[in-house]
Amino acid sequence: MISENLKGYDIYPLGDSAITIEFGKHINPETNDLVIARFNQFQENPLNGVLDLIPSYHSLTVCYDLNYVTKQKMGLHSLIDQVKSRLDEPIKLQANSSKLHEIPVVYGGKNGSDLLRVSQEKGIDLHEIIRLHAEPTYRVYMLGFIPGFAYLGELDAKLTMPRKSSPQPMIPGSIGIAGLQTGIYPSFSPGGWNIIGHTDYPLLTNGIPILQAGDRVKFIPQNQL
Amino acid sequence: MSLIIHKVGILDTIQHFGMRGLQSKGIRPGGVMDQFSASIANALVGNKLNEDLLEIHFPACEITFNKSCIIALVGAHFSAKLNEKYLPLNRPILIPTNGKLQFIAPKSGRIVYLAIQGGLIGQGRLIKNSEIAFKKMPKLNSSSLHIFPWSADVDWQKYSPEIHVIQGREWERLNEESQRKFCCKPFKLSHHADRMGYRLEHEPFKTRTKEEIISSAVNFGTIQLLPNGQTIVLMADHQTTGGYPRIAHVISADLPKLAQKSPGEEVVFHLTDQETAEKEWAAQQKHIRQIQNISQLKLDEFFQKNSNQL
């Protein structure tokens, strides 16, 4: 396995057609700022053979054309060398987008069907769960999984829940929690997060996501339980 | 002048070869499930290798061609029938005007590709009673079916259960016993299998840690370990990122073979490395390009000889 951990990053293969550069081990705004800055750097001046870039909380994945890579003398090593010399270039962290989305949420009920279970498993009453979830101003760390799914962090550690053992069908607007993350399903999809509420806030226009990495989100509870 | 879709199969689509550059917005690349068969189908009719074409699952669509054209069927054997005659796989076929194509029964494989010389206009799911236009109007006018006397070697599809994988970032999470089982035990493909992913059936794998991982990118062929110890292989319509441990990734050269497996069929995973994966891919691509070159020559030759009859 190719692995480098000399310069504050770690490169590992994601199958034979992508590599992931990991910039840290935890979810924090500093690491994510670096991911977004490196994503912009690779995006503005693309490397030959690169097909797609996938920024996440703490990593940037570079998807490449295997036809291009197999024609290089050193195969993937040639591409990794180019990626590394890019990463050696100093990078300026860009100022965060200050865009704030205030998202109304109906907690619990039919479209927040896991709220009760979360409450029971955590031994925290429903009001306190809603308060803990709605209190922070979250950062949009990344978009991924399906078009426009925004991963928001950080969730209060008191609400940490494992993902469900098997994905369930989700409806648009479902607000879920998993680990230290919270997020909103923008469309029908299978999903493994614990659904505690629902919003009608528009998340896609003509298929293009409204929320962008770096934006901020505040949940506004709409109901009394 | 077009194809008319009389009946639709639930998963039949006009398929491209992956839409790239949008994964940062969570928009998946999608594209054909079996790139090998799809490329060969295009090669046989003289198209560029990544021309849009029909991806057909069973139960399959029924189509009338209201203009004579050249097609090729590559991939699954669904007993394709034109009017009353069975059609072979892996050969160019001249379809007569008003030919009606049906797929009678699934014999082997899971997906068949139908390439049309010149390509098609449109994308996405097939719609009942809709028409699909030819990208380039065929200049042919044949009233009879003609099956060309050459065929593509598709030995690469070898319906063996061996699937090669590269270790994933979270491979070490499997305990030793589960790692051993993963590498040599045959697993059946579950009925939960579609363009997004194929689930496998096995005793739950055991892990050294249950610690949650931070969501990050996944890939076509990524094998995720679900919290209940079961696994799923992500296929063409996979999500862009995920938070389940990635224990391994199917190499690109073996994805076509895996895509063609039906529920109940067995797979056996073997660990390999990047170098081998690159070699396998390069060899497969070379084979496709050879078929493309030979097909082009034979088609040109055929049309020169028969230009006055077609």
**Around Cβ A40, how many Cβ atoms within 10 Å?**
15
Q: How far apart are CA B262 and CA B276, in angstroms?
A: 26
Q: In chain B, what is the greatest distance between 2 CA atoms, to the nearest angstrom?
A: 72
User: Residue B249 is nearest to which of A15, A57, A162, comparing CB atoms?
Assistant: A15
Residue A143 distance to chain B (closest CA, Å) = 5
| pLDDT score of A144 | 87
| pLDDT score of A206 | 85
Q: Do the beta carbons of residue A134 and residue A105 sit within 8 Å?
A: yes
- Cβ separation of A165 and B228 shorter than 8 Å? yes
Q: Rounded mean pLDDT of B210-227?
A: 92
Q: Which of B189, B197, B195 is nearest to B262 (CA)?
A: B189
Question: Cβ contacts (< 8 Å) between B228 and chain A: which residues?
Answer: 165-166
Q: Rounded mean pLDDT of A144-152?
A: 89
Question: Cβ contacts (< 8 Å) between A142 and chain B: which residues?
Answer: 215, 241
| pLDDT score of B137 | 79
Distance, C-alpha B126 to centroid of its chain? 17
- Per-residue pLDDT band at B212 (split at 50, 70, 90): confident
User: Residue A163 is nearest to which of B168, B169, B243, comparing CB atoms?
Assistant: B243
Q: Which helix (H) or strand (E) holds B289?
A: helix B274-306
Residue A56 distance to chain B (closest CA, Å) = 5
CB pairs under 8 A between A and B: 159
With a cut of 60, say whether residue A69 has pLDDT above it. Answer: yes
Between B84 and B249, the higher pLDDT residue: B249
% of chain B at pLDDT higher than 70:
97
Between B44 and B210, the higher pLDDT residue: B44
Q: Rounded mean pLDDT of B32-38?
A: 97
**CA angle, B200 as apex, B157 and B163 as ends, to 5°?**
30
Q: Which residues pair with B223 in a beta bridge?
A: B233, B248
User: Residue B26 is nearest to which of A22, A66, A144, comparing CB atoms?
Assistant: A144
| pLDDT score of B156 | 63
| pLDDT score of B184 | 85
Residue that has been written with the tokens 């009017």 in this structure: B83
Q: Rounded mean pLDDT of A61-71?
A: 96
Whether B204 contacts chain A with CB within 8 A: no
Q: Rounded mean pLDDT of B208-220?
A: 91
User: Residue B166 is nearest to which of A13, A149, A207, comparing CB atoms?
Assistant: A13
- Per-residue pLDDT band at B268 (split at 50, 70, 90): very high
pTM for the whole structure: 0.89
Q: Which of A92, A22, A9, A100 is nearest to A57 (CA)?
A: A22
Q: Rounded mean pLDDT of B184-195?
A: 94
pLDDT digits (tens, 9 = 90+) for B16-29: 999 998 898 888 99
Q: Do the beta carbons of residue A62 and residue A42 sit within 8 Å?
A: yes
Q: How far apart are CA A203 and CA A208, in angstroms?
A: 8
Please enumerate in sequence order all residues whose Cβ is within 8 A of that of B266, keeping only pairs 6 or more positions apart, or say none. B161, B186, B187, B188, B189
List strands edge to edge, sheet with B69-77.
B124-125, B13-15, B53-57, B108-116, B69-77, B92-95, B146-147
**CATH numbers and ranges of domains, chain B:** 2-155 (no CATH), 162-272 (2.40.100.10)
Q: Rounded mean pLDDT of B38-55?
A: 97
Q: How far apart are CA A46 and CA A53, in angstroms?
A: 10
Looking at chain B, which residue has its C-alpha nearest residue A181?
A: B214
User: Residue A14 is nearest to which of B24, B217, B244, comparing CB atoms?
Assistant: B217
Q: Rounded mean pLDDT of A60-65?
A: 97
Whether B240 contacts chain A with CB within 8 A: yes
With a cut of 60, say whether residue A5 has pLDDT above it. Answer: no
Whether B50 contacts chain A with CB within 8 A: no
| pLDDT score of B305 | 84
- Per-residue pLDDT band at B195 (split at 50, 70, 90): very high
- Cβ separation of A17 and B20 shorter than 8 Å? no
Whether B28 contacts chain A with CB within 8 A: yes
- Cβ separation of A43 and B24 shorter than 8 Å? yes
Q: Which of A170-174, A193-197, B99-103, B299-303 has the lowest mean pLDDT?
A: B299-303
The identity of residue A167, as a single letter, is P
Residue that has been written with the tokens 């290089």 in this structure: A72
Tokens coding B215: 């969501």
- Cβ separation of B214 and A142 shorter than 8 Å? no
Between B150 and A95, the higher pLDDT residue: B150
Looking at chain A, which residue has its C-alpha nearest residue B277?
A: A16
Please enumerate in sequence order all residues whose Cβ is within 8 A of that of A167, keeping only pairs 6 or more positions apart, or say none. A190, A191, A192
pLDDT digits (tens, 9 = 90+) for B67-95: 999 999 999 999 999 998 999 999 999 99
Whether B249 contacts chain A with CB within 8 A: yes
pLDDT digits (tens, 9 = 90+) for A155-195: 999 999 998 888 899 999 999 999 888 999 999 988 999 99
Instruction: Give A78-83 contacts, CB < 8 A, sequence gap 24+.
Output: A79/A19, A79/A47, A79/A49, A79/A50, A80/A2, A80/A11, A80/A19, A82/A47, A83/A11, A83/A19, A83/A21, A83/A47
| pLDDT score of B306 | 78
- Cβ separation of A61 and B216 shorter than 8 Å? yes
| pLDDT score of A9 | 94
Question: Cβ contacts (< 8 Å) between A145 and chain B: which residues?
Answer: 26, 215, 239-242
Q: How far apart are CA B267 and CA B54, in angstroms?
A: 26
Question: Cβ contacts (< 8 Å) between A1 and chain B: which residues?
Answer: 167
- Cβ separation of A16 and B252 shorter than 8 Å? yes
Question: Cβ contacts (< 8 Å) between A18 and chain B: which residues?
Answer: 217, 219
Looking at chain B, which residue has its C-alpha nearest residue A71?
A: B282
User: Residue B275 is nearest to which of A54, A75, A181, comparing CB atoms?
Assistant: A75
Question: Cβ contacts (< 8 Å) between A75 and chain B: which residues?
Answer: 274-275, 278
With a cut of 60, say whether residue A4 has pLDDT above it. Answer: no
| pLDDT score of B211 | 85
Q: How far apart are CA A97 and CA B68, in angstroms?
A: 57
Tokens coding A222: 């709409």
Average pLDDT, chain B: 93
Residue B62 distance to chain A (closest CA, Å) = 29
pLDDT digits (tens, 9 = 90+) for A104-147: 999 999 999 999 999 999 999 999 999 999 999 999 999 988 88
With a cut of 50, say whether residue A3 has pLDDT above it. Answer: no
pLDDT digits (tens, 9 = 90+) for B1-15: 689 999 998 899 999
With a cut of 80, say whether residue B168 has pLDDT above it. Answer: yes
**CATH numbers and ranges of domains, chain A:** 10-88 (3.30.1360.40), 100-221 (2.40.100.10)
To probe the interface with B, which of A5, A16, A20 has the most B CB atoms within 10 Å? A16
| pLDDT score of B109 | 93
Looking at chain B, which residue has its C-alpha nearest residue A26?
A: B214
pLDDT digits (tens, 9 = 90+) for B121-161: 988 999 898 899 899 877 788 889 999 999 998 876 667 89
**CA angle, A137 as apex, A135 and A142 as ends, to 5°?**
130
- Cβ separation of A145 and B228 shorter than 8 Å? no
Q: How far apart are CA B82 and CA B96, in angstroms?
A: 9
Average pLDDT, chain A: 91
User: Residue A143 is nearest to which of B24, B242, B279, comparing CB atoms?
Assistant: B24
